[in-house]
Structure 1
Amino acid sequence: MVRASAPSTWMQGLEMPSRLFGDAGGTDYELYEEDDEFVLTIDMPGFETDEIELAWDDGVLNVAAEHVDDDRGRKKTYHRRFRFPKTVDDESISAAYTNGVLEVRLPTADATTRGKEIPLEGDS
């Protein structure tokens, strides 16, 4: 399990706020790998489903949300990027938002699709 307070090398450079401000806001997510998929859960209370945007781009998951409370004159935003070290089957990524918790499941692609056989030339 990878927690925000101890980012691994494959996430370096993407957690700018937690690096600049210590652990402030750095414990709002949990990321782990199980059964050939990554599971990312993020505590995001106060947002509606239609206020959350998820985008996948070349190994990086972008999570952004914005909520405007007109009655109180407040605006709440969330933005974080997560880089994944393995090939993810981007056609099978799924997400659900329930009771203030966003859960994103990112299945890893079959290892055979990550490379190709290289022919060997030479004398037998």
Structure 2
Amino acid sequence: MALPRTAPSSWMQSLDLPSQLFETGSTDYELYEEDDEFVLSVELPGFDPEEITASWDDGVLDIAAEHDDQQRGERRTYHRRFRFPKSVADEEITAEYTNGILEVRLPVEEAVVSGREIEIES
């Protein structure tokens, strides 16, 4: 059986699956580096702050949220992990949730120069 050679979005359309399962190109977050810190903004509209958890473990930021709407009989969940390539000062990570946006600031630790100078002979 040969794999499709076209973009995933075109061959998945024929499967009649809900489009939100396989959205391509859209993200619910923005990540950038500014002034020696990473800034991650995650769109989480409709969640209360106490329904959102953020945890840090060995270079991985874990964001999870769960909302039960008992009046409508609906349950919404969100879970995503972000791996960071540089050392983060984990004791200085802050998070703020405002108007449906969770903003996490992860300060980068200052690089410690280690090793030794190598003498260059002439």
Q: TM-score range by the shorter chain?
A: 0.7 to 0.9
Deviation for aligned residue 1:22: 4.3
Kindly report the root-mean-square deviation, in angstroms, between the aligned alpha carbons of the 2 structures. Answer: 2.1
Deviation for aligned residue 1:23: 1.7
For 1:41-120, list aligned pairs within 5 A. Answer: 41-112=41-112, 116-118=114-116
Distance 1:50 1:42 in 2: 16
- SS state at 1:50 partner: helix
Deviation for aligned residue 1:53: 0.5
Letter in 2 for 1:109: E
Q: Which runs of 5+ in 1 are unaligned?
A: 1-19
Distance 1:56 1:70 in 2: 31
1:92-119 alpha-carbon deviations (Å, 9 max, x no partner):
000000000000000000101xx63258
Q: TM-score, normalised by structure 2?
A: 0.75
Distance 1:69 1:101 in 2: 20
Distance 1:32 1:118 in 2: 33
Distance 1:49 1:69 in 2: 15
- SS state at 1:110 partner: coil
For 1:7-46, list aligned pairs within 5 A. Answer: 21-23=22-24, 26-46=26-46
Letter in 2 for 1:73: G
Distance 1:21 1:71 in 2: 29
Distance 2:77 2:47 in 1: 9
Q: Which runs of 5+ in 2 are unaligned?
A: 1-20
1:65-123 alpha-carbon deviations (Å, 9 max, x no partner):
000000000000000000000000000000000000000000000101xx632587xxx
User: Between Structure 1 and Structure 2, whose CA radius of gyration is higher?
Assistant: 2
Q: TM-score, normalised by structure 1?
A: 0.73
Letter in 1 for 2:88: V
**Paired residue total:** 100
Letter in 1 for 2:41: T
Distance 2:55 2:88 in 1: 13
